[in-house]
Chains A and B, each alone.
Chain A
Amino acid sequence: MNWSKIFALSLRHVYLIRGSFPRILDLIYWPTIQIFLWGFISKFFTLNSSIYENTVGIILSAAILYDFLFRASISYNMMFLEEIWSRNFTNLFIAPIRICEIITALTLTAIFRTLIGLVPAALLAIPLFNVSILEIGVPLVFLLITLYIFGVTLGLLVTSGLIRFGPSFENIAWASLFFLAPLGCIYYPIEILPEWLQIIAKLLPLVHIFEEMRSILIYDIINHFQILKAIFISFLYFVVGIFIFYLSYDGAKSRGTLINMGE
């Protein structure tokens, strides 16, 4: 791994973000809207329901964590799409860079984009709704890492599709996370799902992450095994994602789609 080349690839995206105020605004805008929306919805639930004592905190924490996953994945996809939109694909793939260096650069830079969007929104939730995700405590770090790995994995799968099918796969990039959201049990416990769907849902790390978040916030119980399970499943998908990315790259080289890929 050549870290100087990884830095160069990251620098390209830092320059892109730094040079455009609307781009920064766009990164912050959506997470903030999410926080407002879910904050008010859950406040309404609190006033009209006694199921949870801390409905605002739970729903809003779930919204922030889900948005973290969403932003990580979208950031990864966006950085890749930027190369296609700017018709820079050929230049990128004839540069002396290893595929693992491209993956590493995108993975590391995605965190930068994700945090630009999410930190202001998470901070805003403290004075507005009296909710801080820091209340989850130390396990929050592991939950975020797990979400990040899974978000990047989804990014890897979508970018593999972009390499394989070209820019027409772009719509899938936007839809990918909405497809998984119902199975992720983000805002409700897994018991809500029909039994057969529960089996599928448990194969995703999201269920374990959000169940754990609720366990900590509602019952103040930390289930270390559940956290480990989530990390393990995420990591497994990540490895599969890398493998699929390499397969797509080799396939694209065989089909000749890397050359002149653009809008």
Chain B
Amino acid sequence: MKLEAKNLIKKFNKTIAVNNISFEIKKNETLGMLGPNGCGKTTSIGMLLGLITPSSGEILIDGISLNSRNRVKLLSFMNFSSPYVELPKKLTVKQNLEVYARLYGVKKIDERVNEMVEDLNLKKFLNKKSGELSSGQKNRVSLAKSLINKPKLLFLDEPTASLDPDIGDFIRKYIEKYKKNNELTMLLASHNMREVERLCDKIIMMKQGIIVDRGSCNDLIKKHGRANLEDTFLKIARSEK
């Protein structure tokens, strides 16, 4: 699926959270959305998920506008995972996956849930309540939920935040493997620059609601004369403009 954001603006009263941003993610491409805290990433993702109404601008998914008329149809091809959004704590992992499989209209529910359980190593805590899981386990379950409908367009917000390096690496590897075997366009918001370098085809750098730079990781590193993406990020984040 191709995602296009055209001249998106979001104002909250007098504050401009997102100021006229435009970008495109081609089919099967992964875009990294970077920027310091409060730069408008969450608001942008909220608009792309249909959770926040843009003040102006347009979001097109495969050429179809993400408006209230097309919302349900388009959302069935999309999904989202974030460590800051949880699944019902009192339901077991299995129950949560089943409920979300049904909500997304998955046909062979048991089969799909079992696939996710196998792929993401969820078997040990499948019947445990989601609220009783560790951060690493929660992130894996959240990722399972976000892939339950085999989305064509996936939004990941800091998928490895607060995870130990081992589990973080497991998740990154899994995302890479999944992307290789499935048709998937992805938007990744992350503060982990190595993760972004590893997973993203191109990136946009946001600051104070606008896109201040864009391109492939290597191009940006070269352009700013830095050794890696982290230094490039710091240079852009600390610059006056």
Contact = CB atoms under 8 A, between A and B. Distances in A.
Interface of A: 2, 4-5, 7-9, 11-12, 15-16, 19-20, 82-83, 86-91, 93-98, 250, 253-256, 258-260, 262
Nearest to A97: B103
B75 to A, nearest CB: 4
Contact of B72 (A16, A87, A96, A250): A96
A167 to B, nearest CB: 15
A5 B100 CA distance: 9
Given A15-B92, A260-B42, 20 more contacts: A5-B103, A5-B105, A8-B100, A8-B102, A11-B102, A15-B91, A16-B88, A19-B91, A86-B87, A88-B87, A90-B85, A94-B51, A95-B75, A95-B103, A96-B104, A96-B105, A254-B52, A256-B17, A258-B46, A262-B86
A259 B87 contact: no
Interface string B29-44: 0000000000000110
Contacts of B72: 96-98
Given A88-B87, A253-B52, A256-B52, A7 B102 contact: yes
A90 B75 contact: no
A253 B75 contact: no
B3 to A, nearest CB: 15
Interface residues of B, number: 41
B89 interface: yes
A149 to B, nearest CB: 26
Contacts of A87: 84-86
A28 to B, nearest CB: 19
Nearest to A256: B52
Which residue, B71, B80, B91, B103, has most C-beta atoms of chain A within 10 A? B103
Given A91-B145, A97-B72, A98-B72, A12 B88 contact: yes
